[in-house]
């Protein structure tokens, strides 16, 4: 008796996996099948599954099999099998599908000017023009080359090729002698340093440090946030490494430029990146990517013993590590929200800003006119009303930017906070 192997054909269309920060060659799918895999499906004695990938544009799939015999003419015995076909589900979109609160983006920025499969965009910052809110600038890091500036429509205003900028943050009225500046700081992985820029009225970044401010950390610089003390009016930059080292630098003026001195360092013994300071509360939140969120005193003399934020832990089914970007929505009077990107299930976790940072719930940014967001790195929030955003903006990085079915380079999405707050009132 002849055995006929039954083939179940499944075709995955996927545009190639993201690479980490290593050198690699990216092999794009074509119309021809590649990465052909055979695996067990059902009874292994009689059944096998074969899968392969092609580009999205290929929408049909058939397989043909015949029992091998010595005759060169075997076409007559060929059995044709129609395969099933599904787009590749990138990452863990399904892991967050139980989270029902969802919003859509109002605006997306121009894609970062890197190849579409490069992990490039990372962390946003929002600079509000002192006189004209419509001239607000969204800054974003391109961790493969510099800083990008966008307007509120998402159009690119400027690109600053300043090095591999990982995270960025900004503060207003940073004292420089008798003067005061708006300053953007970024962790610069090209020179293992922190970069400082003056933000001019047109949203132009001007390097303002007289020397390379090299980090003392042993591992590469990674996360970054700024803190402006209500006690002393001093401005600080916190910077961390993947090894969990944290440094606090105090900014000071030297003639017409800004320099920084290291005033505190401590060690968290686990990979860190996302950080945000709450200036009003004098605290800094630090995300341990695989272990939840910790809160510390942000003053340089403060304790380096952190407080663990309950429910930012693995026991919370709404949070799937990594914890990435952190941001604060300021509702005034010390009230508001702490928001964290839960990168492992493409969602965002919301905590109270005050007291013990009670966990309030999670939401997702799903496909609308603009594609939803996946695998978000950095996020930023402003509560200042801006044109089109009456309760302020949530800006998030999108790891997989699509226009329809076409994959583009990564970008940032702008969400109206008005749409988010309905879930957490
Ligand atoms: Ca990423
Ligand atoms: Ca930021
Ligand atoms: Ca990270
Ligand atoms: Ca997306
Ligand atoms: Ca990141
Ligand atoms: Ca898009």
**88, 123, 153: which is the final residue of a domain?**
88
| Alpha carbon distance 182, 66 (integer Å) | 72
Short-list 137, 192, 143, 202, CA closest to 19: 143
**20, 53, 88: which is the final residue of a domain?**
88
Sign of CA dihedral 253, 259, 265, 269: positive
Q: How far is the CA of 18 from the centre of ligand 3 (A)?
A: 14
Give 146-194 pLDDT, tens digit per residue: 999 999 999 999 999 999 999 999 999 999 888 899 999 999 999 999 9
Could you count the other beta carbons within 10 Å of the beta carbon of residue 66? 12
Which residues are bridge partners to 336 per DSSP?
330
Same-domain status, 84 and 165: no
Could you count the other beta carbons within 10 Å of the beta carbon of residue 243? 16
Ligand nearest to the CA of 375: 1
Which domain range does residue 266 map to? 94-421
Tokens of 337: 């929200």
Q: How far is the CA of 156 from the centre of ligand 1 (A)?
A: 20
Q: How far is the CA of 360 from the centre of ligand 2 (A)?
A: 22
Give 369's DSSP letter: S
Cα separations in angstroms, 224 against 12, 60, 67, 274, 289: 38, 48, 62, 7, 14
Ligand nearest to the CA of 396: 2
Q: How far is the CA of 158 from the centre of ligand 6 (A)?
A: 20
Q: How far is the CA of 118 from the centre of ligand 1 (A)?
A: 9
Ligand nearest to the CA of 275: 2
* Beta strands 156-160 and 146-150, pairing class: antiparallel
Low-confidence ranges of the chain (pLDDT < 50): 1-10, 13-21
Tokens of 246: 């944290």
Same-domain status, 156 and 301: yes
Q: How far is the CA of 47 from the centre of ligand 2 (A)?
A: 52
Same-domain status, 190 and 81: no
The answer to whether the predicted template modeling score (pTM) of the entire model surpasses 0.85 is: no
Please check whether residue 140 lies inside any domain of the structure. Answer: yes
Same-domain status, 79 and 171: no
Say what the pLDDT of residue 7 is: 47
Tokens of 65: 């099999």
Same-domain status, 241 and 312: yes
Same-domain status, 166 and 256: yes
Q: How far is the CA of 140 from the centre of ligand 6 (A)?
A: 16
Cα separations in angstroms, 88 against 26, 37, 95: 17, 15, 15
Q: How far is the CA of 238 from the centre of ligand 1 (A)?
A: 21
Q: How far is the CA of 167 from the centre of ligand 2 (A)?
A: 6
Using only the alpha carbons of the chain, give its radius of gyration: 25
Q: How far is the CA of 330 from the centre of ligand 4 (A)?
A: 27
Please check whether residue 259 lies inside any domain of the structure. Answer: yes
Q: How far is the CA of 18 from the centre of ligand 1 (A)?
A: 8
Same-domain status, 48 and 138: no
Please state the domain count of the chain.
2
Looking up residue 105, the CATH number of its domain turns out to be: 2.120.10.30
Q: How far is the CA of 35 from the centre of ligand 5 (A)?
A: 30
Say what the pLDDT of residue 2 is: 43
CB 365 within 8 A of CB 374: no
Please check whether residue 1 lies inside any domain of the structure. Answer: no
**37, 55, 88: which is the final residue of a domain?**
88
Same-domain status, 64 and 107: no
Same-domain status, 199 and 288: yes
Same-domain status, 43 and 153: no
Say what the pLDDT of residue 25 is: 61
Same-domain status, 49 and 139: no
Say what the pLDDT of residue 64 is: 85
Same-domain status, 234 and 317: yes
Q: Write out the H or E segment, with its range, that includes residue 420.
A: helix 417-421
């Amino acid at each position: 008796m002849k055995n006929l192997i039954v083939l179940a054909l499944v075709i995955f269309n996927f545009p190639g996996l993201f690479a980490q920060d290593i050198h690699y060659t990216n092999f794009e799918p074509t119309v021809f099948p590649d990465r052909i895999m055979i695996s067990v499906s059902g009874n292994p004695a009689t059944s096998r599954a074969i899968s392969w990938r092609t580009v999205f544009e290929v929408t049909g799939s058939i397989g043909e099999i015949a029992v091998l015999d010595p005759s060169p003419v075997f076409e007559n015995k060929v059995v044709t099998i129609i395969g099933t076909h599904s787009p590749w589900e990138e990452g863990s979109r399904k892991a967050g599908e139980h989270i029902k609160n969802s919003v859509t983006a109002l605006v997306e920025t121009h894609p970062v000017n890197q190849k579409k499969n490069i992990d490039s965009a990372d962390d946003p910052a929002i600079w509000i023009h002192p006189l004209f809110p419509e001239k607000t600038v969204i800054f974003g890091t391109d961790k493969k080359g510099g800083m990008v500036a966008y307007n509120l429509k998402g159009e690119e205003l400027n690109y600053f090729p300043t090095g591999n900028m990982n995270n960025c943050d900004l503060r207003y009225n940073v004292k420089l002698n008798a003067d005061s500046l708006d300053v953007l700081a970024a962790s610069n992985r090209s020179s293992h340093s922190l970069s400082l820029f003056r933000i001019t009225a047109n949203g132009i970044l001007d390097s303002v440090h007289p020397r390379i401010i090299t980090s003392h950390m042993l591992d590469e610089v990674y996360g970054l946030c700024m803190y402006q003390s209500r006690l002393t009016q001093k401005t600080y930059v916190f910077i961390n490494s993947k090894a969990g080292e944290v440094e606090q630098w105090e900014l000071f003026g030297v003639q017409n430029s800004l320099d920084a001195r290291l005033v505190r360092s401590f060690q968290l013994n686990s990979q860190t990146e996302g950080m945000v300071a709450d200036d009003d509360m004098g605290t800094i939140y630090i995300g341990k990517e695989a272990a939840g969120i910790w809160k510390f005193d942000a003053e340089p003399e403060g304790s380096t013993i952190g407080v663990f934020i309950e429910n930012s832990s693995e026991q919370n089914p709404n949070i799937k590590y990594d914890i990435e970007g952190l941001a604060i929505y300021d509702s005034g009077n010390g009230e508001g929200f702490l928001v964290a990107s839960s990168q492992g299930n493409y969602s965002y976790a919301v905590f109270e800003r005050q007291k013990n940072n009670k966990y309030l719930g999670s939401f997702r940014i799903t496909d609308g006119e603009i594609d939803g967001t996946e695998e978000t790195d950095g996020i930023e929030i402003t509560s200042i009303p801006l044109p089109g955003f009456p309760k302020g903006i949530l800006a998030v990085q999108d790891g997989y930017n699509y226009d329809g079915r076409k994959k583009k380079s990564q970008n940032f999405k702008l969400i109206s906070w008005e749409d988010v707050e309905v879930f957490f009132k």
